[in-house]
């Protein structure tokens, strides 16, 4: 039997409105209707698909970008919602990610870094561009509560089991 890859939820952040400061949390409720509780981007607009409800970034990717630029900027300045440690997130739309005992997110699209990254550090947008380094956007498939230290796993979309 082989060990299944398991990562850890290493960070949670949200912002109440566009351009608001990021609020770092140790736990949060997640719902299909609203994404992360209190995060402006999570609510699905009428007729919308919710493709950007929750954003995820890998700790290793953020650290690589920081090393490339010679900076030590806190991860939440990327404006992502979740920091994942120890798991290589698949770069495939439709991939299901399980967090904790209940939450399931579906990767929808690459989270392209915007020009706002340049206001944080010159060259940051370019450093986050290759190989999905800027993270992944997702929609909530099943809600629940998540907390720092929760396991993060890749789920089999057909069977709802670990791959």
Domain boundaries, the chain: 6-155
pLDDT at 157: 64
Q: What is the pLDDT of residues 32-80, one digit of tens each?
A: 999 999 999 887 776 666 778 999 999 999 999 999 999 999 999 999 9
119 pLDDT band, cuts 50/70/90, is confident
Q: What is the pLDDT of residues 1-17, one digit of tens each?
A: 345 679 999 999 999 99
Q: Thinking of the domain 6-155, which architecture would CATH place it in?
A: Beta Barrel (2.40)
Strand boundaries in 100-135, DSSP class E: 103-110
- Report the chain's terminal Cα–Cα distance, integer Å: 12
Percent of the chain topping pLDDT 70: 91
Q: What is the pLDDT of residues 14-27, one digit of tens each?
A: 999 988 999 999 99
- Mark out the alpha helices in the chain (DSSP H runs): 59-69, 116-120, 124-128
pLDDT at 10: 98
User: Residues 82, 12: contact at Cβ < 8 Å?
Assistant: yes
Cβ contacts of 7 within 8 Å, gap of 6 or more: 84, 85, 86, 87, 151, 152, 153
pTM (two decimals): 0.91
pLDDT at 162: 47
**Averaged confidence pLDDT in the chain:** 90
CA within 13 Å, CB half, 36: 31
């Amino acid at each position: 039997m082989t060990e299944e890859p398991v990562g850890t939820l290493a960070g949670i952040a949200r912002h109440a409105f566009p351009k608001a400061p990021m609020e770092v949390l140790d736990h949060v409720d997640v719902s299909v209707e609203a994404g992360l509780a209190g995060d402006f981007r999570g609510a699905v607009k009428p007729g919308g698909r919710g493709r950007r409800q929750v954003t995820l970034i890998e700790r290793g990717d953020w650290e690589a970008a920081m090393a490339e630029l010679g900076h030590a900027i806190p991860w939440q300045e990327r404006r992502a919602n979740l920091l994942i440690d120890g798991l290589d997130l698949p770069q495939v739309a439709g991939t299901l990610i399980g967090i904790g005992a209940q939450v399931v997110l579906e990767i929808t699209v690459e989270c392209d870094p915007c020009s706002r990254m340049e206001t944080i550090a010159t060259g940051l947008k370019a450093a986050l561009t290759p190989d999905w380094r800027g993270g992944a956007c997702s929609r909530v498939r099943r809600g629940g509560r998540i907390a720092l230290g929760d396991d993060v796993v890749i789920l089999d979309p057909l069977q709802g089991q670990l791959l």
